[in-house]
Amino acid sequence: RFSNDFTVKKILGNGANGCVFETANKFDQGEYAVKRVAVDAANKYTIIEALKEVEVMKDLYHEGIVKFEDAWIEEPPVGWQRAADNQILMELIYKDPVCLYPKITSQLFHSCSFRCIIKMTAFSSMFKWSCVTLVWPSGSLKMNFAT
């Protein structure tokens, strides 16, 4: 669903377990930040921990906090995600060849394919993007983008 609904525009940043992309929704043309966080698909506890953000965010209402809107779960085929991410990366490099995207290290474990998507929307105009959070399998793809 994510790849069908969103177009990645650029990489906004990364952390220890994930990466954030600026995206555009193909249907409503809205801009969204997409955060991907690594979890272990075989370990329900790590998935529950990752979904705690949804539980907290759905009850928060403040002009300085994005508002929870939607959530869904996807399970891409084994090996599919690496090819999809490589395609996204090549498109980003083609658009901006001077960027720092090529400074990447990646590692793939083909046994994991669980991800959860949490869609949020901006509550105030102080946010340029709404947020969509993707929870990835632990080790399925870890990218370290230079910032």
More confident residue, 78 or 119: 78
Please check whether residue 145 lies inside any domain of the structure.
no
Please check whether residue 97 lies inside any domain of the structure.
yes
- Total domain count for the chain? 1
- Average pLDDT of span 102-108: 40
The CATH number of the domain holding residue 9 is 3.30.200.20
43 lies in which domain range? 2-137
Which own/partner pairs from 79-84 qualify as long-range (CB within 8 Å, at least 24 positions apart)?
Answer: 79/108, 79/110, 80/113, 81/113, 81/136, 81/140, 81/141, 82/106, 82/108, 82/141, 84/3
pTM (global) more than 0.85: no
Q: Which of 42-46, 82-86, 90-94, 106-110 has the lowest mean pLDDT?
A: 106-110
26 in a known ligand binding site: no
